[in-house]
Amino acid sequence: MIASFLNHLWQSTLFALAVALVVRMLRNDAARVRYALWLAASLKFLVPFAVLSALGAALAPAFERPMLEITAGAIPLERLAAPVGSDGIPRAIVVGLVVVWIGGAMLVLLQTVRRMRRLAALVERASPERASFGAALPVRYSSAQVEPALVGIMRPVLLLPTDVEARLSPAQLEAVIAHELCHWRRRDNLTGALHMLVETLFWFHPLVWWIGARLVEERERACDEAVVAAGHDRRTYAEAILGVAELRVASPIKCAAGVGGVDLKGRITAVMRSQAMKELGIHKKVLLHLGAAAAIALPVAGGWLAASADALAQVEEFLPIVKVAPEYPPEAAEIGLEGYVIVEFTVNEEGSVEDPFIVESSSPIFEQAALDAARKFKYQPRLVNGVPVKVPGVRNRITYVVEHDDFV
C-alpha cells in the first residue's frame, strides 16, 4: 500500500514538472490555457495512473492456449513509473507515516473550515442587493473590509463592500463586476475547492502549494484578459484593480475568487499592454491535445500489455525437454480401448513437475498412468528478471492409440 502511494507521488510529481515546462513555453499565450494545464497537474494527484492501468488490464484479452512463449523482463519505462518496490518498508515506519499524514491533513482541514465559516458568516450578515448588474447572480453588501469577491461553490453570491460605489467610478465598478462574472461563468470556485482537497490530502508536498499559487495567479489573469476582450477600457480597469487592492483585504481561501489576487504588478502590466492577448496557435493546440491523449493512453496501454503478458505467462503451455511415455494400461489394451487424458500441474524453479492432477479424461483407466508419466516430465525453468519462478497451470494432453501402442 505504501509503495503504491509513493509511486503515485512520484508519477504526479513528474507530471507536474512536465506541465511546468509546457506552461513556460506558453507564457505568451492566453492565461486560460495555462490555468487548464495547472488544473490538470492538480487533479493528477487525485487520479493515480494505477487506475488507468487497471482499466487497460481489464481490457486485456484472456489467453487459454497461447502458441508462443513470452519471457517477462524489466521494462525501463515501468521502472521509471514505479521505482518503489512493495517490500523493504518496516511496518512501524508505515504506521508512523500514516499517523503523521492524518494529523497534518486534519490541521489543514480545520484551518480551511474555519476560513470558510468566516466567509459564510460575512455573507449571512451582509445586506441583500441594492442594485442589479444584469446577471442572475445574487449580490450582497458587507460592511467588512473585504474586496469584491465571488463567495460560495454550489450557490455563489457576489459579495461587495458597502462603500464600493463611492470608492469606484461607474466604469471601474462595471469592470470589477465583469471580472467577478467571469469567475462565475468559469466555475473558478469549484475548481479552487478541488485543489483545496488536493492540498488537504497532500499537505506535505511543496509542489502542491506551488501549483495552488499558480492556479490563483492564472485564473485572475484569465479573467483580466476576458474583461479587456469584452471592451472595457484598460486604464480604467487597471485603476479599479489598484483601488480594490489598496482598500480591501483579499479573500483568504481559493474557493472565493476576488479581484485583487496576486502579482498585481504583473497583472497591471499585462492589462496595459497595447497588443491583444495572443491566441493559441493551431500547432500548439494539436500538441496539447496529443499530450493529453498520451497522458491517458500510455498508462492504459501499459496496463493492457502487462496484463496480457501476465496472462500468457500464467496459462502458457510450453513443451517439456524430457517427456516420458506412460504405460498403456493392459486392461485398456486387451479390449482395444483408446482415449486421452489432460493433466495439469505446476512447473517449479528446477523445471520439475509438482502437484499434477486430472483436468479431463475419456476413461478413468488411463488416469493413473498419465499422472505417473507427468511426474517424470522436465521443463526448462521459466526466468523472470533472471530469476527462476514457478509456473502454475501448465497442461499436457496425453492421447492413447491402440494401433501404435504409444502416446502422442
Domains plus CATH for the chain?
A: 1-89+281-316 (no CATH), 102-278 (no CATH), 330-407 (3.30.1150.10)
Cα angle 389, 395, 396 (rounded to 5 degrees) comes to: 125
Instruction: Check residue 131 and give its pLDDT.
Output: 52
Instruction: Check residue 203 and give its pLDDT.
Output: 94
Instruction: Check residue 119 and give its pLDDT.
Output: 84
Instruction: Check residue 21 and give its pLDDT.
Output: 93
Residues 6+ apart with CB under 8 A from 197: 46
Residue type, 238: A
Q: Which of 335, 352, 161 is nearest to 259 (CA)?
A: 161
Q: Which cell goes with 372?
A: 505417473
Instruction: Check residue 65 and give its pLDDT.
Output: 41
| Prediction pTM value | 0.67
Instruction: Check residue 403 and give its pLDDT.
Output: 62
Instruction: Check residue 143 and give its pLDDT.
Output: 82
Question: Do the beta carbons of residue 49 and residue 11 sit within 8 Å?
Answer: yes
Question: Do the beta carbons of residue 359 and residue 342 sit within 8 Å?
Answer: yes
- In which residue ranges of the chain is pLDDT below 70? 1, 56-57, 59-89, 129-135, 246-256, 258-263, 274-280, 302-304, 306-319, 385, 403-408
Instruction: Check residue 267 and give its pLDDT.
Output: 80
- CA 222/CA 245 separation, integer angstroms: 18
